[in-house]
Amino acid sequence: MHELDVARYSTLIDPQLHVWGWEIPVYLFLGGMAAGTLFLSGLLSMGEGPRSRAVRALPFLAPLLLAVGMGALFLDLSHKLHVYRFYLAFRWTSPMSWGAWILLVVFPIAILYGLATLSDEDVAAVSARLPPLLARVLADRRGWARRNVRRLRMAAMIAAVGLGGYTGVLLSALGARALWGSALLGPLFLVSGISSGAALTMLLPGVLPEERALLGRADVHAMWLELALLLFVLVGLATGDAASRAAADLVLGGPYTAPFWALVVIAGVVVPAAMEILERRLHLAVTAVAPALVLAGGFALRWILVAAGQR
C-alpha cells in the first residue's frame, strides 16, 4: 500500500482536496489527550506522598480515550476490513506505520503501568467483583508490574511522547498541504496534548489540591510552550515560499483568522493560563472554567488545522 507522499496538487488528479471530516480531529484530540494523561500519570507518581484515587486510575484513562479516538479513526477508513494490513508490515519511513504500531503498544504499557499504580484497596475492591481466575491473573500481573514499576513508568512516558508527537508528525508528513508542512507540528501537538491531559485530570472528581496545583503548573508550562511553538510555526510559514505564505494567510487575515486566534490562542491558551496563574497567586476559588477552556482550545486547534490544511 502506497501513501500519498508527493507534493503535488492538480484538480485532475486530486479532484477532492477536503477528504478528512470530523473523525480525524476527534481522533487527534483524543489521542493527544490520552498521551497527556499517560505522561502526567508518570510525572505525578514521581512525586512524594499518597496520590488520589483519580490520579491512581489515570493510566487506565489513556487507553479508554485512545480507544474512543481509534473508533473515530476507524469510521474514517474507506476500506474498514483492510485495517489489519497496518499490522502486517512496518515501514520505518512512514509516520502512519509508526503510528499504527505506537497505538498498539500504548494499550499494554498503560494497563500494566496502571496496575502498578493502583493501591491494595483499589485492587481488593476490583478483585471482589471478578471471577477467581481473573482475580488471580490480576494479582499476578500486578505483582510483576509493581516489581518493574520504574521501567513501566519510563516506557509509559516514552510511549506517551511517541503517541502525542506522532499525531502532529502524521500531518506534517503530508507535504502537499502547505499549512501542515512544519516539523514543529509534532512537538506542538505533544505539548497541546499534555495541556489537554492536565485539564482533563483537573476536572476529575477527587483530585487532591496539591495534585491540582502540580497539574496547574504543568498545564501553564505546556501552554506557554504551545504558544511559542504556534508562533514559530506561523513565522516559519509566513517567511517560507509562496505556498507556505498562502497557508499562513489562512490564519493571518484569511477565513480562519477569527476561529484560530479567538478559540485557540486567546480562549484556549492565553486566558486559561492567566486564570490559572491568578487563581494560584490570588488564592482564588478553583473553578472548572480554565480546564474547560483548555480542552475547547485543544480541540479547536486540531479542528482548525485539519480543516484549514485541506483548503
Partner 1 sequence: MTFFPFQLPAANPQVAMVAAVLVGFGFGFVLERAGFGNARKLLGQFYGTDMVMLKVMFTAIVTAILGTVVLAGVGLLDLRALADGVSSETFLWPMIAGGLLIGVGIVASGYCPGTSLVGIASGKLDALLAYAGVVLGQLLWAELEFRGPIARFHRSGAFGHVYLYDLLRVPAPALAAGVVLMAIGAFLFGEKVERMVTKAPAGPGPTARNRVFAGVVAFGAVGLATLLLPVATAARAVPAGRIAPEELARRVLSEPWKVRVLDVRPMDACTKERVPGAECTPPAMLKDLSLADVSPARDLVVVGEGDLAQAPAEIRAYRGRVLVLDRGYEGWRAWALTPPALPGEGAAPSALETYRLRAGIQSALTGVKAAPPPPTPAAGGAPVQRKAGGGGCSG
CA distances, 301 to each of 20, 65, 221, 246, 297 (Å): 15, 18, 18, 19, 6
- Minimum distance of partner 1 from residue 307's CB (angstroms): 15
Binding mask 276-295 for partner 1 (x = CB under 8 A): ---------xxxxx------
By beta-carbon proximity to partner 1, the closer residue of 180 and 256 is 256
List C-alpha distances in Å: 200 to 25, 112, 143, 175: 17, 22, 29, 33
Which of these ranges, 30-38, 54-62, 215-223, 246-254, lies near partner 1 under the rule CB under 8 A?
A: 246-254
d(CA 288, CA 286): 7
Q: 244 near 181, Cβ under 8 Å?
A: yes
One of 149, 254, 277, 280 touching partner 1 (CB under 8 A)? 254
The verdict on 239 binding partner 1 (CB under 8 A) reads: no
Identify which range of 37-45, 66-74, 183-191, 264-272 contacts partner 1 by CB under 8 A.
Answer: 264-272
Size of the site for partner 1 (CB under 8 A): 18
Identify which of residues 21 and 236 has a Cβ nearer to partner 1 in the complex: 236
The only residue of 54, 123, 234, 296 in contact with partner 1, by rule CB under 8 A: 234
Nearest by Cα to 166 from 147, 181, 186, 146: 186
Pick the closer one to partner 1 by CB: 35 or 265: 265
Binding of partner 1 by 232 (CB under 8 A):
no
CB of 44 to partner 1, least distance (A): 24
Q: How far is the CB of 232 from partner 1 (least distance, A)?
A: 14
Contact flag: residue 238 with partner 1 (CB under 8 A): yes
* Minimum separation from the CB atom of position 245 to partner 1 (A): 12
CA distances from 121 to 53, 56, 72, 233, 236 (A): 10, 12, 35, 47, 52
Task: Specify the length of the chain in residues.
Answer: 311
The residue whose grid cell reads 489521542 is 31
CB closer to partner 1, 122 vs 249: 249
Member of 261, 277, 296, 310 binding partner 1 (CB under 8 A):
261
Stretch near partner 1 under the rule CB under 8 A, chosen from 1-9, 39-47, 198-206, 260-268 = 260-268
Residues that bind partner 1 (CB under 8 A): 234, 238, 252-255, 257-258, 261-262, 266-267, 271, 285-289
